[in-house]
Amino acid sequence: MKSITRVFFAIALICAAPAMAETMREAVLRKAALENGLRPAEESWPDFEPEKAAVGKLLFESELLSLTRNVSCRNCHLDEFGSADGLPLGHGAGGVGKGVERMKSQAGVLSRNALALWGRGGIGFDVFFWDGRVDASSGAVRSQFGTMAPSDDPLVVTAHLPPVEFREMIGESNDTEWLRQGDVNAAARVHQEIARRIRGTPEIAEPLSEASGLDFEQLTYLQIAEAIAAFIRSEFRLRETKLHRFVFERQALTDQELAGGLLFYGRGQCAACHSGPYFSDLRFHAIPFAQFGFGFNGFGIDYGRYNFTQDPRDRYAFRTPPLYNVTKTAPYSHSGVEPDLAGAIRAHVDPLAEIDTSRLSALDRAEVYQKIARWSLEPSYAVELSDAEIAELVAFLAALEFDPEPGR
C-alpha cells in the first residue's frame, strides 16, 4: 500500500512540476521588475492645476503658437500614434493631414523622430528631448537659455522651445530668416508675439487669465508655457498596464510575455538602460542605428548629446526613450529609421543585421565604425538574440500598453 502511495505521490509531483516552474518564473519576473524600479502608475503622477491644464489643452491645439500660424503641438502628438506622429521624422510647419498624408504636403521636415509624451513632467522625469537639451537632473535647469532660463520647472522651459524651432513651428521664408541664428533675444520676440496673439483671443485669454490670477495685459508666454506643462502632466500621465496588474495584482501574463520579461531583465540586459518607473534611466547611450534623413549635424550625421555638451564622449549618444505604449509609436530610433519594434530591438544587439554596408560609401562606413566603437562601451553590447526571443521581447513590451481614459 505504501509503495502505491509513493507512486501516486511521484506522479503528482511530475504533473505539478510545470506549474511549480511557472510560478517560480513569475516570482522571478515580479522581483526583477520591482528591483528595477517599476512602481504603481499613480506614484509618478505630478501635481498640476486643473484650471491651467484645461486652458493648456486649448493652447496645445492652437495654431496661434506657430509664428507662421500653420501648425499646433497636437499635429505631431496624436492619440492614434501613441502621442507621437507615426512618421520617421517630424513634419512640422506647413504640414497638412496625419501620418503618411502629412509627408505629401509642404511640411518642414525635422532632423529627428517625434517623441511620445507619456510620463513627461511626472515625478522624477526631468530630462527632455533626444539630446537632453533641457536637463534638470542635477537640481538646476540646464538648457539652451543658459542663465536666462524662464523657469525652474524643466517642463515649462521645454514648452518654450518648439515655437522657436525652424521647420517645427516656424516656417522657412524671407520673413523668418532673422530667427535662424537661434539667438535668445530673437526667441523672446517670438514668445512676445505669441503672447500678444493669445491676449487678443478671448476664448483662450479669459480662462488663462483666470487660471493664472493675472489680468489680460499681464499675460506673457510664461503663463502659456505653464498651462501647456499642466496639460501635458494631466493628459499624458502614466496609467496602469498589464505588467502593473501582473506585478501588483497577481494577474497572469502569457507564456510569451513572461519569457520576454525574463529576457528583458536577464540575458537581454534591456533593463541596464530601460529601468526606473518610466522604463528609462533618463541617461544617454549610443546604439548604432542607421541614419535616416539629413541628420541634425547634416550630411546624414547626428552626434546626439554631443551637440549639447560638446564632450566627445557624448557623440552618438541619445537619451534612453521610455517604453510605455512603445508598441504604438513606430517608427523607432532618433531618426525613425526602424519601421518596426523587432528591428529596433535587433539594432540594439546586432546593428549590422540592420545596416546594409554594401550600399554605403567609405565615409558612411567610417561613421558606422565610429558608432560601433561608442556602442561597445554600452551594457547591452553584442547580446545574441534569436528571432523567437526578439518576438518574446516584443510581446513583453506590449504589456506596457495602456489607453487614456475615455472621454478625457
Q: What is the pLDDT of residues 21-58, one digit of tens each?
A: 458 999 999 999 999 999 999 999 999 999 999 999 99
Q: Domain coordinates of the chain in residue numbers?
A: 29-42+240-398, 50-235
User: pLDDT per residue over 221-232, tens digit each?
Assistant: 999 999 999 999
User: Do 164 and 170 touch, CB atoms closer than 8 A?
Assistant: yes
Q: Give me 218's grid cell.
A: 499681464
Among residues 25, 28, 41, which one has the least CA distance to residue 401? 41
50-235 shares the fold of 29-42+240-398? yes
pLDDT above 90 covers a percentage of the chain that reads: 85
d(CA 328, CA 102): 18
Check whether domain 29-42+240-398 has CATH 1.20.1070.10, yes or no = no
- Phi and psi at residue 301, to the nearest 5°: -125, 135
pLDDT above 70 covers a percentage of the chain that reads: 93
- Phi and psi at residue 392, to the nearest 5°: -65, -40
Whether this prediction's pTM lies above 0.85 is answered by yes
Concatenated DSSP letters of 1-65 = -HHHHHHHHHHHHHHHHHHHHHHHHHHHHHHHHHHTT---GGGGPPP--HHHHHHHHHHHT-GGG
Residue indicated by cell numbers 517560480 = 24
Could you tell me which residues come within 8 angstroms of residue 24 by beta carbon, excluding any fewer than 6 positions away?
Answer: none
**Section 389-393 average pLDDT:** 98
Could you tell me which residues come within 8 angstroms of residue 213 by beta carbon, excluding any fewer than 6 positions away?
Answer: none
Q: Give me 381's grid cell.
A: 553590447
Q: Give me 404's grid cell.
A: 487614456
d(CA 32, CA 26): 10
Please determine, for residue 4, whether its predicted confidence score (pLDDT) is greater than 90: no
Q: Give me 329's grid cell.
A: 509609436
Q: What is the pLDDT of residue 408?
A: 47
Indicate the helix (H) or strand (E) that contains 127. strand 127-128
Please determine, for residue 135, whether its predicted confidence score (pLDDT) is greater than 70: yes
Please determine, for residue 88, whether its predicted confidence score (pLDDT) is greater than 80: yes
Among residues 324, 148, 163, 172, which one has the least CA distance to residue 236? 324
Query: Model confidence at 407, in pLDDT bands (50, 70, 90)?
Result: very low
**Section 254-283 average pLDDT:** 97
Among residues 162, 173, 150, which one has the least CA distance to residue 59? 162
User: pLDDT per residue over 164-218, tens digit each?
Assistant: 998 999 988 877 777 777 778 889 999 999 999 999 999 999 999 999 999 999 9
Per the DSSP assignment, residues forming a β-bridge with 166 are: 170
Q: What is the pLDDT of residue 12?
A: 45
**Section 309-328 average pLDDT:** 97
d(CA 127, CA 391): 30
Please determine, for residue 70, whether its predicted confidence score (pLDDT) is greater than 80: yes
Q: What is the pLDDT of residue 15?
A: 46
Q: Which CATH architecture has domain 50-235?
A: Orthogonal Bundle (1.10)
Among residues 129, 130, 94, 89, which one has the least CA distance to residue 109? 89
Could you give the 3-state DSSP secondary structure of residue 194? Answer: helix
Output helix, strand, coil percentages for the chain, rounded to the nearest 5. 50, 5, 45
